Amino acid sequence: MDLLLGDRIAIVTGGASNIGRQVALTLAQEGANVAILDLDEAGAQRVAQEVKASGGQATGYATNIADPAMVKESVDRVVHDLGKIDILANVAGWMFDELFLDETLEKQEKVVGVNLWGPMNMIRAVLPHMVTSEYGRVISVASDAGRMGEYKEAVYSACKAGVIALSKALAREVGRYNITLNCVCPGLTIPEAPETISAGSFWHENLDFWTDERQQKATRAYPLRRLGKPDDVANMVAWLASDRCSYVTGQTVSVSGGYTMM
Ligand SMILES: NC(=O)c1ccc[n+]([C@@H]2O[C@H](COP(=O)([O-])OP(=O)(O)OC[C@H]3O[C@@H](n4cnc5c(N)ncnc54)[C@H](O)[C@@H]3O)[C@@H](O)[C@H]2O)c1
């Protein structure tokens, strides 16, 4: 099925790495012109090159989504360069596993900055453009942690739950402008290869932990008996970003092989 993204301009945050990289590649493959926003500018440009090498259109931009001024500046640049914004895929995120009482306040503030303020800053910057054009698709990659609360991920879980509630509340506010907001919740989605993660990726410090044996054990918690692939998440993001999905808003979809069912 053609997702009809031919004339669409899409912003993908966190597009330099793992899931965001695949979201950028998939949206471009479906015809969208993609602006890749990431802290890791070289990584964003590398993925933009990958998109171009496969016949798509993409540009990399350096952005810190936790910084509202920088976000506004980047979004203005995208509008200047590409003319409009139809789709926002909030994919950038950051986390670590630690017991709540052991975490420093500094680390917790960083988690909130990236995972909650980040999507809020992005949405605040793109919405005026979408309201004016009376068209918009906002897809935020949250997490099953935000639906059920994950051990050693208390603040991260709270942020992801916040993004889900934010999307629902805003879906009520801006539905009248033909703007939809939905969330996609991955389960454990390990990068397919070390070269598909960016310098800013959480996976730098965690990839070695996930030996084949540990991955095999982890699959037991997943009814479909495998872990997620970036492609699984990207396909759902592309569907929610498409004109084929114009009557779905305020929804949260887990793409996690049945790990969470609600
Ligand atoms: N991979 C998983 O197992 C998993 C599971 C559930 C949810 N998620 C969510 O999916 C999303 C993507 O996960 P991933 O595994 O691809 O992560 P990743 O760590 O590989 O990539 C995240 C990207 O975001 C960028 N980034 C981090 N902070 C930023 C900031 N302040 N401003 C701009 N860019 C920033 C990083 O540079 C990196 O390129 C995240 O929101 C994550 O919380 C992932």
Q: What is the pLDDT of residue 82?
A: 98
Cα(176) to centroid of ligand 1, in Å? 31
The mean predicted confidence, pLDDT, of the chain is: 97
What ligand 1 atom has the least distance to the C-alpha of 228?
3
In a domain, 44, yes or no: yes
Q: Hey, what are 87's tokens?
A: 């789709």
In a domain, 172, yes or no: yes
In a domain, 29, yes or no: yes
Question: Which position among 61, 135, 151, 156 bears the catalytic label?
Answer: 156
Please tell me the total count of domains within the chain: 1
Confidence of residue 1 (pLDDT cuts 50, 70, 90): confident
In a domain, 243, yes or no: yes
In a domain, 70, yes or no: yes
Q: Hey, what are 110's tokens?
A: 């960083």
Confidence of residue 194 (pLDDT cuts 50, 70, 90): very high
What ligand 1 atom has the least distance to the C-alpha of 15?
39
Q: Residue 48: which domain range?
A: 9-254
Contact 38, 63 (CB under 8 A): yes
pLDDT-above-90 percentage for the chain: 97
Query: From atom 32 of ligand 1, which residue's Cα is the shortest distance away?
Result: 64
Q: Residue 205 pLDDT more than 90?
A: no
pLDDT in tens, 106-157: 999 999 999 999 999 999 999 999 999 999 999 999 999 999 999 999 999 9
Cα(21) to centroid of ligand 1, in Å? 10
Q: Which residue has the higher pLDDT, 200 or 157?
A: 157
Q: What is the pLDDT of residue 166?
A: 98
The secondary structure of the chain as a DSSP string is: -----TT-EEEEETTTSHHHHHHHHHHHHTT-EEEEEES-HHHHHHHHHHHHHTT-EEEEEE--TT-HHHHHHHHHHHHHHHS---EEEE---------GGGS-HHHHHHHHIIIIIHHHHHHHHHHHHHHHHT-EEEEEE--THHHH--TT-HHHHHHHHHHHHHHHHHHHHHGGGTEEEEEEEE--B--SSGGGS-TT-GGGGTTTT--HHHHHHHGGGSTTSS-B-HHHHHHHHHHHTSGGGTT--S-EEEESTTSS--
Q: Among all chains, which residue has been given the structure tokens 């070269």?
A: 195
* CATH at residue 39: 3.40.50.720
Q: Give the CA count within 13 Å in the CB-facing half-sphere of 79.
A: 18
pLDDT in tens, 164-178: 999 999 999 999 999
Contact 121, 63 (CB under 8 A): no
Q: What pTM does this model have?
A: 0.98
Confidence of residue 185 (pLDDT cuts 50, 70, 90): very high
Is residue 156 annotated as part of the catalytic site, yes or no? yes
Probe residue for ligand 1, chosen from 38, 74, 78, 153 as the CB with the greatest number of ligand atoms within 8 Å:
38
Q: What is the pLDDT of residue 86?
A: 98
In a domain, 27, yes or no: yes
In a domain, 2, yes or no: no
In a domain, 1, yes or no: no
Cα(37) to centroid of ligand 1, in Å? 12
Probe residue for ligand 1, chosen from 71, 202, 206, 207 as the CB with the greatest number of ligand atoms within 8 Å:
202
